[in-house]
């Protein structure tokens, strides 16, 4: 809820831009000049998506910091959601890694889902607040591995963002930032909706041979990607943890797909490739497709595929 009382999730589309009701008075986004980093770029992208206003790259004035109609990002020495100030540099040195992007995600009510579904977020928080040496140590890799992960896409976007003092609607960088913010919000909201959907319909099957799989029944309408989100669900829901495989509707037929979770080699689906109702089993053994629809038969195929402790290399 913003300081003017409007919900961040009530929106209208004006001239192609998402503008959130209750936030119509937002005038500008202000972030620091000089070099740009992933956290301030993404934080501004989210705010551009939500508020549809231009960006000034300059030091904020006292009036900017005091004005709730100006979003001050990664500068200003203040974190205050009501005044829309999103700086982290004043936090204690031993504070949990928290960057401007973390603060904006929390303000928008998206942080917890972002930590669950954006594997890159915690690393971005570490990089911005602890630097590459400590981040590499935290990740358990050599320092030079961090540079090997750099992309020319990142380099160009950050360089072009830093190069201009202002970014206005209609300009290429601003429009790309709006798309990035929009895609990130769409992804997070879609993942939350998908997790809720899976929670409502999925079942954890205990197979007699001593292992568990996650079963997603066929529903109408069938999702475009019936297996989407199942792995995330296993990782994030206590009941599903320990599942070694997944069973989900085959979008190309009436049957089901059978697959390993996290490539658990104890499931070897080439063991069922000769079954009459199995029309595909990948040579690597990680997935199979069957026309079977009865639970008893699906369980039987899973049991036949189980190697247990005798997983082959």
Which residues have CB under 8 Å from 118's CB, separation 6+? 184, 188
288 and 246 in contact (C-beta within 8 Å)? Answer: no
Per-residue pLDDT of the chain (313 residues; tens, 9 = 90+): 333 333 344 444 444 444 444 445 899 999 999 999 999 999 999 999 999 999 999 999 999 999 999 999 999 999 999 999 999 999 999 999 999 999 999 999 999 999 999 999 999 999 999 999 999 999 999 999 988 888 999 999 999 999 999 999 999 999 999 999 999 999 999 999 999 999 999 999 999 989 999 999 999 988 889 999 999 999 999 999 999 999 999 999 999 999 999 999 999 999 999 999 999 999 999 999 999 999 999 999 999 999 986 544 4
Q: Are 113 and 125 in contact (CB under 8 A)?
A: no
Q: Give the start-to-end residue ranges of the domains of the chain.
A: 11-193, 202-307
At 21 the pLDDT is 41
Does CATH number 3.40.50 belong to domain 202-307?
A: no
How does DSSP assign 264-311, residue by residue?
Answer: -TTB-GGGGTTSTTEEEE-TTSSEEEE---SHHHHHHHHHHHB-GGG-
Q: Which string of DSSP letters, residue by residue, matches 168-229?
A: -TTSHHHHHHHHHHHHHHHHHHHHHHHHHHHHHH-EEEEETTTEEEEE----SSPPSSTTTT
pLDDT at 15: 41
The kind and range of the H/E element at 62 are helix 62-66
Tokens 């203040």 map to which residue?
78
Determine the Cα–Cα distance for residues 177 and 180; give it in Å rounded to an integer. 5
Confirm if 258 and 305 have CB atoms less than 8 A apart.
yes
pLDDT per residue as tens digits for the range 195-204: 999 999 999 9
Gyration radius of the chain over CA positions: 24
Pick from 1, 5, 61: nearest CA to 28: 61
């Amino acid at each position: 809820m913003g300081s003017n009382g409007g919900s961040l999730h009530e929106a209208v589309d004006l001239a192609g831009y998402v503008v959130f009701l209750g936030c119509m008075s937002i005038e500008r986004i202000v972030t620091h000049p000089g070099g740009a980093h992933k956290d301030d770029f993404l934080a501004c992208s989210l705010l551009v998506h939500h508020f549809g206003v231009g960006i000034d790259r300059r030091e904020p004035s006292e009036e900017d910091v005091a004005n709730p109609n100006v979003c001050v990002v990664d500068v200003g020495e203040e974190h205050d959601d009501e005044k829309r100030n999103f700086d982290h540099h004043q936090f204690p040195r031993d504070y949990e890694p928290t960057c401007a992007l973390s603060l904006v995600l929390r303000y928008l009510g998206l942080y917890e889902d972002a930590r669950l579904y954006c594997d890159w977020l915690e690393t971005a928080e570490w990089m911005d607040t602890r630097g590459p040496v400590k981040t590499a140590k935290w990740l358990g890799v050599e320092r030079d591995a961090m540079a090997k992960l750099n992309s020319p896409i990142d380099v160009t976007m950050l360089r072009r963002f830093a190069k201009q003092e202002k970014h206005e609607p209609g300009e290429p960088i601003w429009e790309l930032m709006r798309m990035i913010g929009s895609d990130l919000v769409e992804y997070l909201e879609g993942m939350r909706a998908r997790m809720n959907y899976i929670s409502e319909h999925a079942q954890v099957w205990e197979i007699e041979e001593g292992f568990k799989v996650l079963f997603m029944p066929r529903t109408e309408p069938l999702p475009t990607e019936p297996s989407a989100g199942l792995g995330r669900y296993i990782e994030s829901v206590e009941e599903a943890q320990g599942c070694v495989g997944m069973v989900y509707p085959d979008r190309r037929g009436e049957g089901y797909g059978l697959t390993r979770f996290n490539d658990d080699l104890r499931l070897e689906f080439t063991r069922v490739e000769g079954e009459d109702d199995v029309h595909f089993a990948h040579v690597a053994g990680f997935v199979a497709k069957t026309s079977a629809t009865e639970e008893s038969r699906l369980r039987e195929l899973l049991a036949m595929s189980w190697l247990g402790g005798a997983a082959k290399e």
